Amino acid sequence: MSDSSGIPFNNPGWAGNTGEFQLTEAQVRGDDYVGERPKEGTHPATAATYPYMLADKDPSAPLFEGPYRERWDKIRSRYPDARSALLPTLGLAQELRGYLSPETMEEVARLLDLSPAYVRGVATFYTMYNKRPVGRFLIQVCTNISCNLCGADEVLQAFLNNTGTELGETSEDGLFTVVEAECLAACGFPTCVQINSRYYENVTPKDVPAILERLKTQGE
């Protein structure tokens, strides 16, 4: 493969300017979101997998119909190889259904003509894909080395105590799920906690009740 000047492409997987490349963020991810959106102008490819939490998820929603079908068709058209559309397709399925059940992974496999085992292997590799339903606020406490040295275990315990949950469990009101996370790349500000798409830095156990109260009353 070469370009018009005869220079060979190093990456034969590059699709060139085919398909729907000129997409706005809204065309890729739609408008119906809660939480803060990144500024318009970031690359649409990242938008497709950004883990927004819709207020109302529908685990039995069809994959994909209506506006979601339109968005998926556009995403799919950007990849000559169906397998390459797997990550944004999983992202769209999670956005719609809230998490990726084994059944959802199988449906995605059928959509992209892949084996269920392959889809499952990819989906379970990335922590940004929820394999179980999560609460309205997914609280990810970094317990990796820097945060751990600065008391991340106590912060994690404070979130569990104050939400009345066990690790990975969702609170009865459906609001909170607390999980451990690997390094969130904010090691200079331990303990770092990611709540949905927002970082909270230098968190100590005594900050936890106020953070939860703010989430309840003002959202993310």
Phi-psi region of 71 (alpha: psi -120 to 50; beta: other; left: phi over 0): alpha
Cα dihedral 105, 37, 163, 200 sign: positive
Q: Which lies closer to ligand FES via its Cβ, residue 133 or residue 151?
A: 151
Q: Which stretch binds ligand FES (CB under 6 A): 34-42, 70-78, 111-119, 182-190?
A: 182-190
Q: Which lies closer to ligand FES via its Cβ, residue 93 or residue 192?
A: 192
203 binds ligand FES (CB under 6 A): no
Which of 23, 85, 96, 184 binds ligand FES (CB under 6 A)? It is: 184
In whole angstroms, how close is the CB of 149 to ligand FES at the nearest point?
A: 9
Query: Which residue spans within the chain are E strands per DSSP?
Result: 137-142, 176-181, 193-195, 198-200
Which of 53, 155, 158, 186 binds ligand FES (CB under 6 A)? It is: 186
Residues in region 140-179 near ligand FES by CB under 6 A: 142, 144-147
Size of the site for ligand FES (CB under 6 A): 12
DSSP assignment letter at 128 = T
Cα 130–209–205 angle (5° rounding)?
A: 85
d(CA 115, CA 137): 32
Which of 35, 190, 208, 212 binds ligand FES (CB under 6 A)? It is: 190
Q: Which lies closer to ligand FES via its Cβ, residue 203 or residue 215?
A: 203
44 binds ligand FES (CB under 6 A): no
Q: Give the closest residue to 64 by CA, choosing from 10, 108, 99.
A: 108
In whole angstroms, how close is the CB of 43 to ligand FES at the nearest point?
A: 24
Per-residue string for binding with ligand FES, 97-136, x by CB under 6 A? ----------------------------------------
Cα 210–205–219 angle (5° rounding)?
A: 30
d(CA 216, CA 165): 16
d(CA 102, CA 120): 8
In whole angstroms, how close is the CB of 182 to ligand FES at the nearest point?
A: 8
In whole angstroms, how close is the CB of 208 to ligand FES at the nearest point?
A: 16
Token representation of residue 43: 């690359």
Task: Give the interface with ligand FES as residue ranges (CB under 6 A).
Answer: 142, 144-147, 183-187, 190, 192
